[in-house]
Amino acid sequence: MLSNIRIVLVQTFHPGNIGQAARAMKTMGLSDLVLVNPRSFPDAEATRLAAGATDVIDNARVVEHIAQAVGDCVQVVGASARLRSLPLPHFDDPEPMASELIEHAQDAPVALVFGRERFGLTNDEIRHCTHQVSIPANPEYGVLNLAQAVQILAYEVRRAWRHHQASPATSQTPPSLPTRDQMAHFEAHLHEALVTSGFLTQPHARTEDHLRALFARAQPSRKELSILRGVLSTLEKAGSNPRSSS
């Protein structure tokens, strides 16, 4: 189950932070590290600061875009010190976030995503997440060092995993959620239908962000998502040939 929990670091500037994040992960039993466009990697400083966790560094995968890092994941939680303007479901306490993540990690990969040292995650990157989480730190100075944020959330995940191990019978396996790739196909299909039908006229309106938040809250199962896609296809056909549906 812990092997299904991925840590994603987006465009990390200091290689030392990658090393320290790897160490933080290994102390909590996590091993799947994906780096999105790091400034410098592989890097001697990253390896040095990983200490006994050089295996995590050696097995880290490097990708160019966040979509490649989380496409196969069923839940993706972006860690952020500040609330952004996007209306995504938000955990202001890491504990319930970690228990949910552990539930979903039973049968598919899930991810925790961390932003850049300078300016965190962009709104476009947060759109690839299903949820956001903040560590409730000092409101006057609540931004943690990247690797320390990884350490705290990795610890919460380990704690939730230990609870789950201790009482597995009480927790039911949730229905299989779609991967982010499957969700992205659905969103693209929905976008097309909304534009073709004339519902969406302003391409930059927030409507789609709200719909995305709605689906993130509802967490449709794979089956429900395929029903929704079927509905879209049928409505599209009816729309292009209105008489046949009368």
Interface residues with ligand SAH (CB under 6 A)? 79-82, 114-115, 117-121, 134-135, 137, 142-144, 146, 149
In the complex, minimum distance from the CB of residue 56 to ligand SAH, in angstroms, rounded to a whole number:
18
Question: Nearer to ligand SAH by C-beta: 81 or 228?
Answer: 81
Question: Nearer to ligand SAH by C-beta: 142 or 239?
Answer: 142
Strand extents, DSSP E, 31-182: 32-36, 61-63, 75-79, 90-91, 110-114, 131-133
In the complex, minimum distance from the CB of residue 174 to ligand SAH, in angstroms, rounded to a whole number:
24
| CA 87 to the chain's CA centroid | 15
Distance CA 67, CA 34 (A): 12
Question: Nearer to ligand SAH by C-beta: 19 or 115?
Answer: 115
Torsion sign (Cα): 146, 43, 125, 122: positive
Question: Nearer to ligand SAH by C-beta: 6 or 190?
Answer: 6
Are residues 15 and 41 in contact, defined by beta-carbon separation less than 8 angstroms?
A: yes
In the complex, minimum distance from the CB of residue 109 to ligand SAH, in angstroms, rounded to a whole number:
19
Question: Nearer to ligand SAH by C-beta: 88 or 190?
Answer: 88
Integer-rounded Cα Rg, in Å, for the chain is 20
| Residue the block writes with tokens 């552990």 | 102
Distance CA 1, CA 5 (A): 7
